[in-house]
Structure 1
Amino acid sequence: MAPAKKSDQEISAEFTSYYLQRATQEFAEDLDKVRAADDFKNDALQILVSALQQGTALFSPEEQRRIVTAAPLEDPSKK
């Protein structure tokens, strides 16, 4: 029996999680430098996360679905 097809909303949520995970891995050193800056305030963290999330808009729903269904999504709790 084939698994149920995920809704666009489910795909978008999974893709956003995957995208943020990959972006933070790739830019870990740069993000640490930004967070360590003297003028970085705690309320800036939400702005930083929001800015990273905006990168998901570069991918069409079809691309997001393809990536989510092809990529072995890592469970961050298992690290």
Structure 2
Amino acid sequence: MASPEKSEEEVATEFTSYYLQRATTEFAEDLDKVRAADDFKNDALQILVSALQQGTVLFSPDEQRRIVTAAARPEGKP
């Protein structure tokens, strides 16, 4: 759970994890197609993860904190 006491680094780590979880869920079919391609090698997995992580830079530290805090709340709680 992100709170004002968490450092920006802690929030960024939690956000990256949350972002990757959401991205892999949303793009599951596409990622499966990429992994099943004949030219996909095991060492390409790290490149794929790194490419997905690049999307986190689109969010400011304040946005990351807001998203992580909201994601940690139980459903329906403000």
Shared fold per TM-score greater than 0.5 = yes
User: TM-score with structure 1 length normalisation?
Assistant: 0.85
Matching of residue 28 in structure 1 with residue 24 in structure 2: no
* Corresponding residue pairs, total: 71
Q: Distance in 1 between matches of 2:4 and 2:44?
A: 39
For structure 2, list consecutive stretches of 5 or more residues without a partner in the other structure: 74-78
Describe the superposition over 1:12-39 as per-residue Cα deviations: whole angstroms up to 9, x where unpaired. 0000000000000000000000000000
User: What are the residue-to-residue correspondences of 1:38-57 with 2, within 5 Å?
Assistant: 38-57=38-57
Compared CA separation, residues 72 and 5, structure 1 to 2 (3 A): same
Q: Distance in 1 between matches of 2:4 and 2:54?
A: 28
1:66 maps to a residue whose letter is R
Greater relative contact order, per chain length (Cα 8 Å cut-off, separation 6+): 2
Q: CA RMSD in A?
A: 1.5
2:16 maps to a residue whose letter is T
Q: Which runs of 4+ in 1 moved over 6 A?
A: none
Give the share of equivalent positions with the same residue, in percent: 82
For structure 1, list consecutive stretches of 5 or more residues without a partner in the other structure: 74-79
User: TM-score with structure 2 length normalisation?
Assistant: 0.86
Matching residue of 2:63: 63
Q: Distance in 1 between matches of 2:4 and 2:57?
A: 25
